[in-house]
A = this chain, B = another copy of it.
């Protein structure tokens, strides 16, 4: 087989073109899964892994574009390794539509119960975000440090599973724990989980991933500000609401950057 310069470029930089597939009606794979949504889940999973917000654990899901009572989530797999072929479809009881023997995330009930409780939510991200974990075991509440994390000005409550369920293995491994977590989330974009991590939600995969990323960034910035000592001039709720509207307007600027960064890994 002859080697062309174009092939070498592709090989060495891994700059494989991502499937676009966004038409008026969603393109679907042979398994019937929306290709564009799958691609967003893959990119989001890998971006958060690239930035260390996810390590070997955690997951990104999306509500189905064709059936609002279903959602898409990968089989049990490290997020950095997720491909479109790994995306499965689930109902709101956390049952796989077509499991074909694939292993499932124990904590898929985080997703199912939030989709059930929040019709506005189109995507859910669960991470063990290293910046955020300290706030989940502290009495210091997270607050919005800057405009990219403006959504935190609405408050980020901490869910402590021990309150309702006693001493557990910390996992959201059944619908009742998922429901309890969804109740603590309420109508907000973020909920922290004591001794575990956090969950962010949004009206699109892009926004839920954006919030997972900036929740981690904000946590680190807030820790640094606290360490300086003295009062901190956080964003007010009013500023937060206005600034968050801008985040929706500029999301594609950072999403396109992330997509470029992650493209080589997608080719693996």
Tell me how many residues of A have a C-beta within 8 Å of chain B. 81
Q: Which B residues are CB-close (under 8 A) to A77?
A: 253
Q: A57-B254, A144-B195 are in contact. List 9 more A-B contacts (CB 8 A).
A: A9-B11, A15-B268, A81-B256, A128-B146, A130-B220, A134-B225, A139-B231, A140-B230, A194-B233
Residue of B78, B221, B230, B253 near A78 (CB, 8 A) is B253
Q: How far is the CB of A227 from chain B (nearest CB, A)?
A: 5
A137 touches B223 (CB 8 A): no
Q: Most B CB atoms within 10 A — which of A1, A56, A246?
A: A56
Q: How far is the CB of A186 from chain B (nearest CB, A)?
A: 21
Identity of the chain B residue whose Cβ is nearest the Cβ of A246 in the assembled complex: B169
What separation, in Å, do the CA atoms of A230 and B223 have in the docked complex? 13
Q: A66 interface residue, CB < 8 Å from B?
A: no
Q: How far is the CB of A268 from chain B (nearest CB, A)?
A: 7
Q: How far is the CB of A76 from chain B (nearest CB, A)?
A: 6
